[in-house]
Amino acid sequence: MTPLRQRAARLFALVGAALLLTSCSIIQIDSPLTTFDPAGPNADRIDDLFWLVFWIATIIFFLVMGALIVILVLFRDRDANSVREPKQTHGNAKLEVVWTVIPALILAAIAVPTVSGVFDLTGCDDDSMRVEVIGHQWWFEYHYPDYDIDTANVMVIPVGEETCLEMTSDDVLHNFWVPALMGKRYLVPGQTTLLRLEADETGEFFGHCAEFCGLSHSLMRARVEVVDKAEFEAWASAQQEPASLPAEGDPGYDGYQVFLNKGCVQCHTIRFDDSSASNILASDAFNGPDLTHFASRSVFAGAVLPGDDETYQAALADWLADPPYVKPGSFMPNLALTAQEISDLVEWLETTK
Amino acid sequence: MAGDNQVTATAERPQSTIFKRPSSTKGLWGWITTVDHKKIGIMYGYAAFFFFIVGGIEALLIRVQLAQADGEFLTAGAYNAMFTMHATTMVFLFIMPASAAFMNYLLPLMIGARDVAFPRLNALSWWIFFFGGIFLYSTFIFGTSLPPISPDGITGNLAPGGGPGGFGFLADSPDGGWFGYQPNAGPLYSPGTAMDYWALGLQIIGLASLVSSVNFIVTVFNMRTLGMRLLRMPVFVWMSTVVAFLLLFSLPIIAVALFMVTFDRQFGTLFFAPVGGGDPILWQHLFWLFGHPEVYILILPAMGIVSEVIPVFSRKPLFGYSAVVFAGAAIAFLGFGVWAHHMFASGITPVAQAAFGLATMTIAIPTGIKIFNWMGTLWGGRLRLTTPMLFAVGFLAMFTIGGLSGVTHAIVPSDWQQTDTYYVVAHFHYVLFGGAVFGLFAGLYYWFPKLTGRVMSERLGKTHFWLQFLGFNLTFAPMHWLGLQGMVRRTWQYAPGNGFESWNLVVTVGAFIIALSILVFMYNWYRSRRRGDASGLDPWDARTVEWMIPNPTPEYNFVNPPVVEKLDHWWHLKYTEDEEGRAVRRPEADQMIAELEHSELNPESPIHLPAPSYFPFIMALGLPIVFYGVIYHTTVWGKALIAIGAVVTLASLIGWGIEPLEEPMPSAHDDEAEPEDEGDADEDEEGADG
């Protein structure tokens, strides 16, 4: 090899090693939203497809970049005074065919798992459990038709079996995405879209609305709790229970009175079973999350609160004090509650297990 | 109209006493009434650069907000407005007019013509664009943006000042995304007038491109000099032609869609409103049926530029010229059949997803052909790594990355994970910044002598390139990772603890390095215009006929339009080949260059250039007046504005039709523009642009 070629080869190796090291050092899984830590068969299948394409693309990347660097090193004009000009090649029909056909073959190879993946992963099995997902600005509502449960922000599903999400929106486009379990799917007002979710391990998985849906799009998040079948049934029957309302003198009684008298009931439903009173049901047309089992959910306000470094009570108090400040554009208004009213409400809400 | 492009004396016509063609070609009026493709190109260029700076400032505001978790630099409303306006500005007010600047200035020169086919129409395009840009940006003064209204008529609430964060006043501008997805950008969820400014502003700007696309197509097919066959045209001309066809076929789609949005918002139609049986997904089909060809509208001119720059600085012909040309046409053709790959998550049927996935993959083939042919051009060349060449090679490298990540979007299930994350943001910035913007800078450095008769500083140019290259990769490479780690796009805040913080900080630092590199460029431009080295006629030893005329370009372009015998005509006049096939400079080359440099007009046979006109400016002025009226059409003065604007436009149409053909002859003095003269003219232009 000529010294020039040696230099080119050394440079190529060096740059390649540096790029490889950088790529390795950043591939660590540390985000609850990462797509690299699939926890179910659907996400697994997508992950496999991603890595297949990633490695093909990486090989092509290094070949092209390597060739480019080698060309720049080899053919850089080092002697401006030289009169020796390059050969005037105009093209090469064989090469044109080669670099048309080879990429076409690579793409054809990738196309096969792509198309089969599309058909296998779209839609749901007929016998899977249905959960209706309804998008609102800026929270997800979940309705379990088989159990007649209405909840929000935290979806609970059993491990090891397919759950079919039947999704629609009450207002604008939203997009339901829990990276560990499946890719995204829109929630379209006036239409129903399907998304199959399946987890093969229990745990809490993070999600996010992925379609820009207005002012507080960034504060529309989601959680999916995956539990074993028995735990799921226990959760479901607990959710079916009516609310137990505090009697006068019970903890939370004052907060409940605030809830009744400050207008919260215009939007929030509480289902209870008391022959002496009818249920408090918000109007069908407009409602916020069903609060019957509010405290059974680990997060609220679009799965945004409580944040990392705050307690449940403090976050709840902040939220009640000024919802539009926490969530710009919020349909929950600032009711100008006093500090006492807020702490009463927090106390009551904590009893709504 | 036909009279405009007569280059020889026309028969005398009776002079109108009411309408006179303007006579001054200097000063502010000279710029306002000009129909010279070069002056129009320069105005397009400065306006595009102005909007590049504005869009860049918007990007920096976004990056400061995202530099840390739960950022409170911008309010949510201001943030949404900034990402909407950043994209709208960069796509419609920067890259498109910047490409138009190159096409305007260079297309006639590269095909050996004295002007475009319809010079007044060309001026009309520019003024429509100019007023459209002002109209769109006047939203910051007049527009309003209010919280959403629920389907039951309940209004969302905003804390005073718009909630946590600053710059709340910026929120009163379009905030529904450059993609304007319905129904969020519709009347219910984006009340206020800001999104009307957006829809109608884009309507005006689109009209400018539509008009110029017709003009360029006619120019290329009818104005080529003798011997300039289609397959002897420079690749930049070819790509411009392809872009003109893309504009011609795609802009009517977005025009219709934007009118439907405007009707929904202003007149209560329900095209996209689910409450009335409208379909929000229909908007996405229409938008992306325009929007995907739009991507190629943005990138193909840059591909044309690097196809000019790489051969010149490799001192070799473009490898596989016809393959590069046909690949460009193929990309454009296929580009109309892939739009739904922006909608893989929208719930379209699996058959549609598979079909659009496969169609998207096929685009990689002609794109690959281009990349490999550029590398074939470099191979065996004598590479002079000047600033334009660095930008062209930078384009090649960065665009390859964007192309590879683009293929991953065609892998539909994989795209379900990546769509709407920062992975996509990374991808299209590698295509549009790493690709289009690097290509445009290559063109600016390469053709700067044609404007000024000077070359830009190489030292500053290389500083600019390396800073921009570094800043670009720091900004956009980590976004791939952020997206795959689950960071969703268009989010005002992200929660701590997701592993997003450190890379976001890197991204923000990178964005400021890009800003610094642009400052270096601006200084270089400013300085080189006055004090750059004189370029002479052919500073780069170039290949194409625009380098056969003195720099700066004389007003009449060519004394005698060249008779083209080969592809790369100018190179073959200077070089022959020895028996090995190596280029050998012809002994007569230097003499020929010297003669061309001092070629002068023959006073016996003067060149008649198209006369300036007031009417393009006036006609364009009427459009925004009408559209202001549409926004406020419920008020009396709104209706008055519609009437006034319509009268202005229609009256100027009549004036346009009956103004005389009189063509004042350029005096010999005007033709011999010194570099200093051109500098002064540029200053006037800046003044005109404000």
ipTM associated with this complex: 0.91
Please report which confidence band the pLDDT of residue A278 belongs to, taking 50, 70 and 90 as the band edges: low
Task: Say yes or no to pLDDT of B606 above 80.
Answer: no
pTM above 0.95, yes or no: no
Q: What are phi and psi of B103, to 5 degrees?
A: -65, -45
The total domain count for chain B is 1
- Which two three-digit tokens encode residue B477? 């490479």
Per-residue pLDDT tens over the stretch B477-487: 999 999 999 99
DSSP state, residue A216: T
pLDDT, average across residues B86-104: 96
Q: Which residues of B551-586 are buried (b: 16+ CB within 10 A; e: fewer)?
A: bbbbbbbbbebbebeebbbbbbbbbeeeeeebbeee
Domain A129-237, CATH homologous superfamily name and number? Cupredoxins -  blue copper proteins (2.60.40.420)
Q: Tell me the C-alpha distance between B179 and B88, whole Å.
A: 9
> Looking at the complex, does the CB of residue B140 fall below 8 Å from at least one CB of chain A?
no
Do residue B317 and residue A121 have CB atoms under 8 angstroms apart? no
- Which two three-digit tokens encode residue A204? 């809490």
Least confident of A260-264, A339-343, B88-92, B635-639: A260-264
Q: What is the arrangement of strands in the sheet containing A221-227, beginning at the earlier edge strand?
A: A154-158, A221-227, A203-209, A174-177, A185-187
Per-residue pLDDT tens over the stretch A145-192: 999 999 999 999 999 999 999 999 999 999 999 999 999 999 999 999
Contact predicate A141/A289, CB 8 Å: yes
Q: Is residue B617 part of a domain?
A: no
Per-residue pLDDT tens over the stretch A205-225: 999 999 999 999 999 999 999
> Looking at the complex, does the CB of residue B400 fall below 8 Å from at least one CB of chain A?
yes
Cβ within 8 Å of residue A278, ≥6 positions away: none
Out of A33, A185, A214, closest to residue B498 by CB: A33
Task: Say yes or no to pLDDT of B255 above 90.
Answer: yes
Cβ within 8 Å of residue A170, ≥6 positions away: A134, A135, A136, A141, A189, B151
Q: Is residue B424 part of a domain?
A: no
Which conformational region is residue B455 in: left (phi greater than 0), alpha (psi within -120 to 50 degrees), or beta?
beta
Interface test with A, best of B86, B484, B488, B586 (most A CBs within 10 A): B488
Q: Tell me the C-alpha distance between B578 and B580, whole Å.
A: 5
- Which residues in chain B have Cβ-Cβ distances shorter than 8 Å to A53? 407-408, 411, 414
Q: Tell me the C-alpha distance between A254 and A244, whole Å.
A: 15
> Looking at the complex, does the CB of residue A11 fall below 8 Å from at least one CB of chain B?
no
Contact predicate B535/B454, CB 8 Å: yes
Using only C-alpha atoms, what is the Rg of chain B?
25
Helix (H) or strand (E) holding A195: strand A193-197
Please report which confidence band the pLDDT of residue B685 belongs to, taking 50, 70 and 90 as the band edges: very low
Residues 236-275 of A with CB under 8 A from B: none
Place of tokens 């800001």: B194
Place of tokens 């685009």: B363
A-B Cβ pairs (cutoff 8 Å, strict):
351
Per-residue pLDDT tens over the stretch B526-546: 999 999 999 999 999 999 999
Per-residue confidence (pLDDT) for residue B11, from 0 to 100: 43
pLDDT, average across residues A44-51: 95
Domain with CATH 1.10.287 in chain A: 3-75+90-121
Q: From the CA of A183, how many Å to the nearest CA of chain B?
A: 4
Do residue B347 and residue A188 have CB atoms under 8 angstroms apart? yes
Q: From the CA of B269, how many Å to the nearest CA of chain A?
A: 17
Q: From the CA of B422, how many Å to the nearest CA of chain A?
A: 11
Q: Is residue B242 part of a domain?
A: yes
Do residue A308 and residue B484 have CB atoms under 8 angstroms apart? no
Nearest to B563, CA basis, from B103, B181, B227: B227
The rounded mean pLDDT for chain B is 90
Per-residue confidence (pLDDT) for residue B12, from 0 to 100: 47
Do residue B159 and residue A325 have CB atoms under 8 angstroms apart? yes
Per-residue confidence (pLDDT) for residue A182, from 0 to 100: 95
Per-residue pLDDT tens over the stretch B447-472: 999 999 999 999 999 999 999 999 99
Per-residue confidence (pLDDT) for residue B337, from 0 to 100: 93
Helix (H) or strand (E) holding A204: strand A203-209
Cβ within 8 Å of residue B327, ≥6 positions away: B366, B367, B369, B370, B373
Please report which confidence band the pLDDT of residue A283 belongs to, taking 50, 70 and 90 as the band edges: low
| Terminal alpha carbon distance of chain A | 76
Please report which confidence band the pLDDT of residue B682 belongs to, taking 50, 70 and 90 as the band edges: very low
pLDDT, average across residues A316-326: 94
Task: Say yes or no to pLDDT of A25 above 50.
Answer: yes
Nearest to B543, CA basis, from B317, B303, B232: B317
Do residue A137 and residue B401 have CB atoms under 8 angstroms apart? no
Do residue B320 and residue A191 have CB atoms under 8 angstroms apart? no
Please report which confidence band the pLDDT of residue B4 belongs to, taking 50, 70 and 90 as the band edges: very low
Q: Is residue B307 part of a domain?
A: yes
- Percent of chain A residues topping a pLDDT of 70: 89
Contact predicate A140/A152, CB 8 Å: yes
Q: Is residue B256 part of a domain?
A: yes
Per-residue confidence (pLDDT) for residue B601, from 0 to 100: 77
pLDDT, average across residues B297-305: 96
Domain with CATH 2.60.40.420 in chain A: 129-237, 253-349
Query: In chain A, whose CA is at the least distance from the CA of B358?
Result: A111
Residues 272-311 of A with CB under 8 A from B: 285-286, 304, 307-309
Task: Say yes or no to pLDDT of B681 above 60.
Answer: no
Q: Which residues of B86-113 are buried (b: 16+ CB within 10 A; e: fewer)?
A: bbbbbbbbbbbbbbbbbbbbbbbbbbbb
Interface test with A, best of B491, B567, B578, B590 (most A CBs within 10 A): B491
DSSP H helices, B485-614, are 501-531, 569-574, 589-597
Per-residue pLDDT tens over the stretch B333-367: 999 999 999 999 998 999 999 999 999 999 999 99
- Which two three-digit tokens encode residue B267? 């007149």
Q: Is residue B8 part of a domain?
A: no
DSSP H helices, B187-234, are 194-222
Per-residue confidence (pLDDT) for residue A22, from 0 to 100: 62
**What residues make up the domain containing B259?**
234-314+316-381
Please report which confidence band the pLDDT of residue B560 belongs to, taking 50, 70 and 90 as the band edges: confident
Q: Tell me the C-alpha distance between B449 and B540, whole Å.
A: 10
pLDDT, average across residues B38-64: 96
Out of B190, B420, B582, closest to residue A211 by CB: B420
Out of B164, B319, B498, closest to residue A31 by CB: B498
Per-residue pLDDT tens over the stretch B492-511: 999 988 889 889 999 999 99
Interface test with A, best of B184, B374, B423 (most A CBs within 10 A): B184
Do residue A214 and residue B497 have CB atoms under 8 angstroms apart? no
Per-residue confidence (pLDDT) for residue B354, from 0 to 100: 95
Cβ within 8 Å of residue A45, ≥6 positions away: A117, A120, A121, B413
Q: From the CA of A258, how many Å to the nearest CA of chain B?
A: 21
Out of B411, B489, B583, closest to residue A49 by CB: B411
The CATH code belonging to domain A3-75+90-121 is 1.10.287
Q: Is residue B270 part of a domain?
A: yes
CA A66 remoteness from chain centre: 37
Count Cβ atoms below 10 Å from residue B60 Cβ, excluding itself: 17
Contact predicate B33/B614, CB 8 Å: yes
pLDDT, average across residues B175-195: 93
Q: Tell me the C-alpha distance between B542 and B312, whole Å.
A: 5
Contact predicate A69/A62, CB 8 Å: no
- Which residues in chain B have Cβ-Cβ distances shorter than 8 Å to A171? 148, 150-151, 183, 188-189
pLDDT, average across residues B317-337: 95
Q: Tell me the C-alpha distance between B79 and B77, whole Å.
A: 5
- In CATH, the architecture of A253-349 is Sandwich (2.60)
Place of tokens 């969020």: B184
Do residue B277 and residue A215 have CB atoms under 8 angstroms apart? no
Q: Is residue B351 part of a domain?
A: yes
